Every structure is written in C-alpha cells, then in structure tokens.
Amino acid sequence: MSIIKAQIRLKPVSFTGNTSGSTVINNFVNIKIPFGNNDNFLGLQQEIDAQTQFVTNELINPAVDEERIRYKATNTPTDAIISFWFYNGTYVNTFIGAGFTSYEYQSNSDNFNNSFFILDLYDTYDINTQTKIFTTYLSKKGNTIPQYRISANTSQFYYLHIPMSYIDNQTGNTSICYAKFMFYNAKTGNVATFYNDDNSLATNAMRIHFEIELNHTSKTWRFIAPHYPNIWAYEITNAQYANKTNNTVDNLTISQPNPPSGNTFSYTDTKIIYRTM
C-alpha cells in the first residue's frame, strides 16, 4: 500500500545528536511525515467499521483461550455406574420413560440420536452463589437402557476438562465440586433435570447435585456416594421446576414445505404465476 507523505523543511538550525530518520542537506533538515497509518484502510466508513468491530470484540463475549487439564475418572475400587430413571407414571430405567418408543431408540431414529445427557460441574451446590466450572455431554447413549459405566472405553463422562482458573485457586490436593445432570429430549424439545437419590431427603439444592472429588495431584476425579459404585439419578417430576427449566430452552420448529403440483412457472414482471399443465 502507498502512503501519502508530506515533507517539511526546517530552517537552518544548530543541533547535536542523532539525526536518524531525517536528512540533513546544506544545514536544512527534511522531515517526512506520513499521513497514513497501519490499518490499511482508505475510507472513513472503513475506519468507523473497524473501530466498531474492535470495541465489539473487546466488550461483547470476548474469546477466552484458557488452558484446561484433563482429569480422568478413578476406577478405585471399581468403575462408577450411573443409572438414569425417567418418570412416565412410575420410574423406569428405560428410554420409554422419556417418551421414546422401543423402535425409536433401538433403531437410532433422528429424534433419539439428537437427544443427549448434560453434565454441569459447579464449585458449590448453592444455586445463588455457584459458578459453573465445566460442561460436558453424553451423546453416545446406546440403544438399550440409560445406564453407563464410567470407564475410558464406554463413557463420554470419563474425562472432565477442568480450567486452570479453577485449579489455580485451590490450596489443597483435593477439592469438592458438585455435578448436575440433565437430559435434552429432541423429540419433545424439553429438558429433564435429575435429582440425586442419595440426597432425596435434602431440603436444599443438594438434592439435585452429585458430589465429586477432584484430585489435583493424580489428576483424577470420583463420585462421593454412600452406595458407590452405584449412582442413581431420578427425573424431577415437579411441574413448576420443569416448566422453569424448559422456558430457558429455545426450540426451532422445522416444517416440511408443501410445493405446488405441476412443473411450469411463468414470470410476469415481479410476480410468479403458476400454471397447471
């Protein structure tokens, strides 16, 4: 890109020092001043657009490139097994309880394939003060029952990728976090939240959280549960709570178009006239 420059000649001066960047001719000093800058824009509107984009990138949802450390589930003394129980008049450990037919989940229909479990990990169970640490998903649901062994070869929940911002704030070798499990149902467009059966008598938010210990030395994690290795998650049936959760989900209705029959169109000015042959 060519830069427009102005050259200014100063009157004869007496000076000492470095004249780097200037030219001394017969005791005159010629100084070249560029009128361009390094953003390579030539128009006022381009400058405005560039500044707008810069401010937008800085202030609105800036990208965060944060290092994360992978923690794997410990299998001591054995792998944890988590079972999800859906409610359809009674609790059942099957996808039929979530509203799918046997054919839909056994044949991996689209509405079943597009459904998935969600694990949100928080620093505390107190919903008024908690900060989300990490979110992961289980989309490989299998086509039998919603029960999963947390092992390297069988579960997408095996690894938790913990951000360094959380790890750096810990002072001990271990820390306690709290997981919340949900299921997005692509057939209904709703989200089911599960409560922890071990905390079923709790009267606070511990009821919907599952206690997890992170070991920052061995980079492992494990459930803290009285009936380990069995972890039981039951769908919350409270309608008010379910509606509040589902109101946070935006669903797009996809409808198949119904084109006209025939194959001839004629164009008249800006209108399209359809003719049946």
* 111 lies in some domain: yes
Same domain, 155 and 200: yes
Same domain, 12 and 143: no
Same domain, 198 and 99: yes
- Mean pLDDT (whole number) for 234-257: 70
* 103 lies in some domain: yes
Same domain, 27 and 120: no
Residues in contact with 75: Cβ distance below 8 Å, sequence separation at least 6, in sequence order? 151
Nearest to 215 by CA among 167, 180, 173: 173
* 237 lies in some domain: yes
Nearest to 177 by CA among 209, 154, 205: 209
- Give the residue with greater pLDDT, 24 vs 175: 175
Same domain, 15 and 91: no
Bridge partners of 30, per DSSP, are 9, 23
Same domain, 226 and 175: yes
Same domain, 227 and 91: yes
pLDDT tens, residue by residue, 103-151: 998 898 999 999 999 999 999 999 999 999 999 999 999 878 999 999 9
Nearest to 175 by CA among 206, 133, 144: 133
Domain count, the chain: 2
* 165 lies in some domain: yes
Of 67-81, 105-119, 219-233, 253-267, the poorest mean pLDDT is in: 253-267
CA angle 124, 79, 212 (to 5 degrees): 5
* 83 lies in some domain: yes
pLDDT tens, residue by residue, 142-176: 878 999 999 987 789 999 999 999 999 999 999 99
Judge whether residue 241 has pLDDT over 60: yes
* 116 lies in some domain: yes
pTM: 0.67
Q: What is the pLDDT of residue 246?
A: 65
- Give the residue with greater pLDDT, 265 vs 194: 194
* 262 lies in some domain: no
Q: What is the 3-state secondary structure (H, E, C) of 29-91?
A: EEEEEECCCCCCCCCHHHHHHHHHHHHHHHHCCCCCCCCEEEEEECCCCCCCEEEEEEECCCE
d(CA 222, CA 87): 27
Same domain, 108 and 158: yes
Same domain, 135 and 222: yes
Strands 68-73 and 159-163, sheet pairing: antiparallel
Q: What is the pLDDT of residue 1?
A: 43
| H-assigned helices in 84-197 | 102-106, 110-113, 164-167
d(CA 213, CA 78): 16
pLDDT tens, residue by residue, 183-232: 999 999 899 999 999 999 999 999 999 999 999 999 999 999 999 999 99
Nearest to 221 by CA among 136, 139, 154, 157: 157
Same domain, 7 and 136: no
- Mean pLDDT (whole number) for 268-272: 55
Q: What is the pLDDT of residue 153?
A: 78
Which residue range forms the structural domain that includes residue 9? 1-38
Same domain, 129 and 20: no
Q: What is the pLDDT of residue 2?
A: 43
* 206 lies in some domain: yes
Bridge partners of 92, per DSSP, are 86
Q: What is the pLDDT of residue 89?
A: 93
Same domain, 23 and 79: no
Q: What integer best gives the mean pLDDT of the chain?
A: 80
